[in-house]
Amino acid sequence: MIVGAFVGKAAGIVVTGLAGAAALEGVKKVAQSQVLHSTAVAVTSWGLRGARAAEVGAEKARLAASDIVSEARGRIGEQTPPPSSGTSADHGHGR
């Protein structure tokens, strides 16, 4: 009875191991295929396009907000400073 249980457990472990090995080999074949590479390139290109579109949208929003602030300053009589590039005012010339 103990031997039968042992053999049953061992057979289950062997079947599980064989199924795992077969699955691993299938994954290896798919990973080495050209289809997977082409799909990865396509998905990455979609991501790059999406990132660029988001950058364009963010820049448009920044410019729109800047226009609103500039117009509001004009209404209260303040002079709007010229646009800056985010660097220091002396552009490194005074160093």
Report yes or no on 41 lying in a domain: yes
Residues 21 and 50 both lie in one domain: no
Instruction: Give the pLDDT score at 80.
Output: 73
Instruction: Give the pLDDT score at 17.
Output: 82
Residues 43 and 17 both lie in one domain: no
Report yes or no on 95 lying in a domain: no
Q: How many domains does the chain fold into?
A: 2
Residues 70 and 40 both lie in one domain: yes
Instruction: Give the pLDDT score at 33.
Output: 75
Residues 6+ apart with CB under 8 A from 79: 73
pLDDT at 90 > cutoff 80: no
Residues 41 and 51 both lie in one domain: yes
List the structure tokens of 49.
Answer: 């396009």
For 2-17, what is each residue's pLDDT tens digit? 767 767 777 778 888 8
Task: Report d(CA 73, CA 37) in Å as an integer.
Answer: 54
Whole-model pTM above 0.85?
no
Task: Report d(CA 27, CA 85) in Å as an integer.
Answer: 50
The predicted model gives 42-53 an average pLDDT of 94
Instruction: Give the pLDDT score at 14.
Output: 81
Report yes or no on 84 lying in a domain: no
Q: Report whether 73 contacts 80 (CB < 8 A).
A: yes
Report yes or no on 89 lying in a domain: no
Residues 27 and 42 both lie in one domain: no
Question: How many angstroms separate the first and last alpha carbons of the chain?
Answer: 90
Residues 42 and 56 both lie in one domain: yes
Give the range of the structural domain holding residue 63, as residue numbers without chain letter.
34-76
